[in-house]
Amino acid sequence: MSSVSNEKELGRNEILSFMKEENEEKLKELYKKAYKIKLDNVGDKVYYRGIIEFSNICQKNCNYCGIRKSNSDVHRFTMSEEEILESAKWSYENSYGSLVLQSGERQDEEYIEFVTGLIEKIKKLSNGELGITLSLGEQTFETYEKWYNAGAHRYLLRIETSNKELYNKLHPADHKFETRINCLKDLKKIGYQVGTGVMIGLPEQTEEDLVDDILFFKDMDIDMIGMGPYIVSEKTPIGEIAQNSKEIKKKRFELGLKMIALTRIYLKDINIAATTALQALNPVGREAGLKAGANIIMPVITHKNYRKDYQLYDNKPCIDDNAVECKACLENRIKGVGDKIGYGEWGDSLHYKNKKKM
């Protein structure tokens, strides 16, 4: 493999060659290059999105997910409106800038209205200052529009893999790849900053698939990426067949960093999250993600009492910490990398802003 080129754009073969690279020195060079591209394009600020996982009730049955509908071992919960608003207020008072509302997927009227009310009330309690990202799965155009009009302005909907065949193995037959793509298109049409992402290191997923995922992000004109290594949830159909040795976990972690670095080098001005899944595999995983080109952190601000019930995968980190402990811990981690924290700022995707200027 050649060293990291200074050309404007990497070609598919070059991305693939880095994806397969195992030489540690060359990988260090790759991460260094990605970090520099981050500094040159989006700067050294890390923006927070405090994440409130407000309900683990889900109508879907994704074959890899710990809170899938048919997992009867999960204790189901929905936080009350008061509890959610309390977390949002904490986020505002601690200058987190933005928050993410995430839950299992529901499409019933009661849920849609509940979310609409939350968005309006969060906007009100923060004088319109808190940015709101939603991560609430597939919805109709009308629902997306309703939530946008209520004040949400970013939406994260992970494609999980851009390989349709693999997607179909990860999901039951009634979960359609095309529906997911159409949802991403609807979100863009409405005006959201659109985020997507993939799981990295899935059974049967190849390095070629991952390269195609990066090309997919570009083709779909995505503004933000939230992706991370696949972490096994044992009581799921995929978890039951997935290998989970120390070596496999190490490979998934390394692929996670390569994906961040190559996505940063290829797409330059988008927002990329250093996800908690990185930290689940390595105690300093999120720092490594920032050093490989990520610029967003999503600290969990879900109330401590509910965290243990919101585990999409096993051994999720920080479930015993409260929001205050998380804040102090993260601050030190980010300073250690040499980045700054964009307290009180939305930190919108530069890619989205640049499009608006055109």
Residues 85-124 that bind ligand SF4 (CB under 6 A): 104-105
Write the burial class of residue 246 (CB in 10 Å: 0-12 exposed, 13-18 middle, 19+ buried): exposed
Binding mask 310-329 for ligand SF4 (x = CB under 6 A): --x-----------------
Give the phi and the psi of residue 285 in degrees, each rounded to 5: -65, -40
Q: Is 156 in the site for ligand SF4 (CB under 6 A)?
A: no
62 assigned ligand-binding residue: yes
Tokens of 257: 């960093």
Tokens of 202: 């899935």
**Toward ligand SF4, which CB reaches closer, 213 or 269?**
213
**Toward ligand SF4, which CB reaches closer, 41 or 63?**
63
Please list, residue by residue across 188-198, b when 16 or more beta carbons sit within 10 angstroms of its beta carbon and e when fewer do.
Answer: bebebbbbbbb
Which helix (H) or strand (E) segment is 154 a member of? strand 154-156
**Toward ligand SF4, which CB reaches closer, 233 or 263?**
233
* Interacting span for ligand SF4 (CB under 6 A) from 63-71, 107-115, 273-281, 339-347: 63-71
326 assigned ligand-binding residue: no
CB 205 within 8 A of CB 161: yes
Q: Is 137 in the site for ligand SF4 (CB under 6 A)?
A: yes
Please list, residue by residue across 153-168, b when 16 or more beta carbons sit within 10 angstroms of its beta carbon and e when fewer do.
Answer: bbbbbbbbbbbeebbe
106 assigned ligand-binding residue: no
Residues 39-58 that bind ligand SF4 (CB under 6 A): 58
User: 15, 16, 42, 67: which one contacts ligand SF4 (CB under 6 A)?
Assistant: 67
Spatial separation of the C-alpha atoms in residues 270 and 34, rounded to whole Å: 13
- Please tell me what DSSP assigns to residue 4: P
Write the burial class of residue 173 (CB in 10 Å: 0-12 exposed, 13-18 middle, 19+ buried): exposed
Q: Is 62 in the site for ligand SF4 (CB under 6 A)?
A: yes
Least gap, CB of 96 to ligand SF4 (angstroms): 23
**Toward ligand SF4, which CB reaches closer, 262 or 280?**
280
Q: Is 60 in the site for ligand SF4 (CB under 6 A)?
A: yes
**Toward ligand SF4, which CB reaches closer, 30 or 67?**
67
CB 152 within 8 A of CB 132: yes
**Toward ligand SF4, which CB reaches closer, 63 or 322?**
63
Beta bridge partners of 341: 46
Binding-site sequence positions: 58, 62, 65, 135, 160, 180
Contacting positions for ligand SF4 (CB under 6 A): 58, 60-62, 65, 67-68, 104-105, 137, 312
